[in-house]
């Protein structure tokens, strides 16, 4: 007895004259899956792969958001002080407040925003560029 497909896309087979049997299915997470070991294994493998892919995409988004530098404008605020690509001042070259070249090497000197001028600051590029 070979499985056939009806108008609604359900599998069935004829088991006797005038009598049909539908493929048993179960509903997992709102998805109807054939109740066979192969179909269940394939479903769980696809679900696991989708979860792993979503986690990896989230990790990549988080890694892209942070530049690893400290923003002096929000360093003392209640939200994280990292310079993020989601900030309106962020440009591919860095913070929009940053000049292309530093006026002088200011590393270790007092900073009005942070305690000392350092390379971890988003406005630092061989010196303070503000």
Evaluate whether residue 22 is within a structural domain: yes
Q: Is residue 126 part of a domain?
A: no
In a domain, 130, yes or no: no
Burial string for 91-103 (b: 16+ CB within 10 Å, else e) reads eeebbeebeeebe
Q: What residues make up the domain containing 35?
A: 4-64
Whether residue 33 lies inside any domain: the answer is yes
CA distance 89 to 110: 24
**Per-residue confidence in pLDDT tens, the chain, 130 aa:** 788 999 988 889 999 888 999 999 999 988 889 888 999 999 999 999 999 999 999 888 777 677 778 888 776 666 667 887 778 888 877 788 887 777 788 888 888 888 888 888 888 888 888 7
Q: Report yes or no on 13 lying in a domain.
A: yes
């Amino acid at each position: 007895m070979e499985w056939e497909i009806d108008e609604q896309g359900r599998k069935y087979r004829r088991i006797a004259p005038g009598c049909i049997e539908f493929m048993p299915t179960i509903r997992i997470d709102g998805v109807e899956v054939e109740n066979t070991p192969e179909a269940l294994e394939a479903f769980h493998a696809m679900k696991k792969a989708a979860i792993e892919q979503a986690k990896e995409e989230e990790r990549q988004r988080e890694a892209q958001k942070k530049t690893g530098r400290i923003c002096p404008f929000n360093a003392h605020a209640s939200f994280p002080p990292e310079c993020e690509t989601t900030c309106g001042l962020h440009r591919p070259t860095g913070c929009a407040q940053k000049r292309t070249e530093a006026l002088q090497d200011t590393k270790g000197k007092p900073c009005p925003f942070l305690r000392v001028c350092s390379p971890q600051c988003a406005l630092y590029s061989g010196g303070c560029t503000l």
